[in-house]
Structure 1
Amino acid sequence: MKKGLYSALLLSTALLLGACGNAEDTSSGSKVEQTTKDQTATANSAQTNEAVDKLVQVFPQKEMKNVVTTSVTLAEMLHILDVTPIGLPTTTHQLPKEFETIEKVGSPVEPDVEKIVSLKPDIVIGPISVHTSLEKKLKQTNVASAYLPTDSYEDLKNDLTALSIVLKKEQLATSYLNELEKKEQKIIQSLDVKDRKVMILFGTGESFMLMNTNTYVGSLVNTMGAQNMITKVSKSKEAYVPLSMENVIATNPDVILLVSHGDATVALKQFKDEVKKNGAWNQLTAFKEDRVQALDYSVFGYASIEKAPQALEELQKILAK
């Protein structure tokens, strides 16, 4: 039954993509190109169905009216689905205004389990990153839980679809995802940045890591069609890969994106001051052409399906510079 529901939920998005593509079918060459696009869209839709199916299965087979979430990312999705939770994480990130008076259950990393239990939720929904630590505590109670991946842009779309199914809010998710797709395609098609070679750094000072395509920012860069250069020098599937100066020089990125906590201007200055100690950085195309950019933490600081269009627009401006 659930499988049929989410298949229907995703069908309209697939049809939208197909319709947009068919409008461009003006020659035999474009027909071949369109056929390839349609085949890719079909394959992606099948993969999405499978991914959503797995997510739906992590939820208990029962009605879930009283929901607690330990994640800002997931709290945004509940807001989109018009579901008011009874418990939310304590955070410095801005929660939906309608959620300001809702009980807080502690930090996303170390939530207060006693507080959660006292709220008598039907389900606690958290990111899969805290599954081990939180479940160890929750399993001693009678509180049901479910954990979702919240790393990449695709994760967020699949999460919203899965949540809409188990919370019986499919129409809201369909409408939101269709509008999101339109915004995404408009941004992508307005400027072509496919030739851009991008390196994404996370951290501060000397402790930088490379961000892979399965991170939030990495997946947004991938959505734009730009090349995340980590894929050229590493086969690692880890979200964060140790920085190797040898690899940085070998890939010679056109653009370097810096993701760090706090003020972006301060972070950029600290980064530039640090790399002055190694003259090799200044020989990179990104430095020569002044395309080293610290990303706004309020937009890129956590995975957000609500802020994704704004994030894509900002990335496009940076990459097209």
Structure 2
Amino acid sequence: MPGQRTTATDVAKAAGVSRATVSFVLNATPGQSISDAVRARVLAEASRLGYMPHPQARALASGQSNIVLMVLPEWPIEYVTRQLLDEATVELDEAGYSLVTMDPRRSRRATPLWESLRPDVVMSIDPLAPKVLESIERSGAVVIKHGPEMLPMYRVGPDLQVGHLLNLGHTSIAYAHTPIAAMRDLDQERMSRIRRGAEAAGAAFRSAEVSATNAQEVVRTWSRAGVTAVAAFNDDTAAWTIGGALRSGLRVPDDLAVLGHDDSPIAAMFVPAISTIHLDLAGLGRALAQQALAVARGGAQPDIGDPFSHARLIRRESA
């Protein structure tokens, strides 16, 4: 019937054998005297009936689910995050593991996936709240706790941004905040790095939220205040800023230099092409997957080093 799951008992009835025999055949249990003919009949009926082992039962039987659960920050799944997840997924898939992602803050009613899926490993980019961490550990999953090695994600890009603008001779720098509320913590961290770098060099500093609707107004205000360079939260924010400048009659980069972050596809396609910061998020995704595999297989949590050591400035037309 539609929606009715085929069970091992169904396979046993169709093949004319016991439920235990089906279990031995499907799990390739060693030391069993089962004839080749019976084995072939069980496998044929299982295939005909579309039998798939229940994941929780299989996990209980083997002690492993071959699932790695990644708890995501409350960020939009955009180009940068997809890079990380895509590479981690490929790396885990090649080893026979599945990557599942979740954000535990979006719903407090659903059963957490670490309880329903029983993953072998749970990992997170951001530190987990104590209550979340306690709940995961009670489920029996191994938790990979990330510490100082993830901090460069918050500082290396802004440091490259402000350093480049200062090297170009700019003495009045602004920061373009993202309007996306879910990115507020990361946005504030990047802004503080830009401000610290600018003020340490004696440059004036301003900041404002920039969106598709207010970019022109914000850029005009900055221009009147003498701002000549903008470090943007990401490439989308940089594109809005450039659009606001061009519509205000400003030349980019002659009147206003704009530097993005993330090296997303829009940066190269935009006119003028957006100078930006490239982070090796694909490499980080592979490193996180390798870390999860080592832990899932009973090994020690390996040091992934500085995952952002390959961050670099991409020079294009806007700065």
TM-score after normalising by structure 2: 0.37
TM-score after normalising by structure 1: 0.36
Which structure is larger by alpha-carbon Rg, 1 or 2?
A: 2
